[in-house]
Amino acid sequence: MKFNDIKLTTIRDLKEYKPKSKYFVGLDSDGTIFDSMELKHKDCFIGSLIRVFGLASITHEIHEVWNFVNIYSNTRGTNRFKALVHTFNHLKTFDRVKSLKIDIPELNDLNNWIKSEQTLSNKNLIEFMKGISGKRKMALKNVIKWSKEVNQIVKSTVINLPPMDGALKALEKLKYKADLMVISNTPFNTLIREWSENSIYSNIEYIGGQETGTKTEMLKAVAKNNYPKKNILIIGDSPGDLSAAQNINALFFPILSQREEESWEVFNQIGFEHFFNGTYFGEFQNSQIKEFQSILKIKPHWLD
């Protein structure tokens, strides 16, 4: 089967899943399996944002803010629409943006949609737009234009990017002992393409992406009532992955930003055995989470 023929994973699919193993491991993709965070954000998201919203005069500020929001802070890995709202809110505080009288788009409707909608996807935003008109609708059209353009740029840019060596070693070990699933905010078609092109799609039961639902929704559907909580492990690189794990009382192993291969080495040499020996919870997990949280910034320097 070609990857573009694979059917979108739904919450219903996950609820109907029958475990094959006593253990479950949920895996994030970008920044966890693939070292793709900087490539996608710096080379795919930002250029399109500048073009679509006409913000060339503050290119430096946009790079600084977008990278902080999406890579180096405690909002790392957040949904792209949430990231856009965060970015524009930060930009409005810059003195240079104010002095140049840059018109930063108001995204009130987008923010309201984010607060009311569980599945933050292009499709659902387009549906939401049907009840809006005038300038408000134009603002949302630009958001959709940007999001679709990003998907196209990712498709043409993120090629020949293999999984991290440590992630491959972990997948090879895990697939014989646990049911594996991808839990991601990335669009489904992008995930299918990246996992299929690297011949690792067959290692997993399901791929859950942006259109499937939130990470917590996916985990509640597929894992919470199917496995003992001590047998559920989430591996990811963002605070959202940690929150999703905590929301179902699962275990969590972090992949540290800019220390990805080192993190996988720790998992393969130590974390793997702790998980399957039942000694993961407690001192080992606490030390991993503490280090993870210490490297993510909460306050950007421009607010000092």
**Same-domain check for residues 184 and 286:** yes
CA dihedral 190, 19, 217, 166 (to 10 degrees): -50
* Residue 236, domain CATH: 3.40.50.1000
CA dihedral 216, 116, 55, 144 (to 10 degrees): 80
The last residue of one of the domains, among 112, 140, 157, is: 157
What are the strands of the beta sheet with 232-236, ordered from one edge? 206-208, 179-183, 24-27, 232-236, 251-254
Residue 301 lies in a domain: no
**Same-domain check for residues 27 and 45:** no
Residue 246 lies in a domain: yes
The last residue of one of the domains, among 107, 131, 157, is: 157
Residue 1 has pLDDT above 60, yes or no: no
- The closest of 165, 209, 226 to 25, measured between CA atoms, is 226
Output the furthest CA–CA distance in the chain (Å, rounded). Answer: 61
Residue 247 lies in a domain: yes
Q: Would the CA dihedral through 255, 65, 46, 211 be positive or negative?
A: positive
**Same-domain check for residues 56 and 114:** yes
What pTM, to 2 d.p., does this model score?
0.92
**Same-domain check for residues 14 and 74:** no
**Same-domain check for residues 11 and 122:** no
pLDDT digits (tens, 9 = 90+) for 2-47: 545 578 999 999 999 999 999 999 999 999 999 999 999 999 999 9
For the residues 291-303, what does the mean pLDDT come to?
87
Average pLDDT, the chain: 94
Residue 299 lies in a domain: no
Provide the residue range defining the domain that includes 172: 3-35+163-294
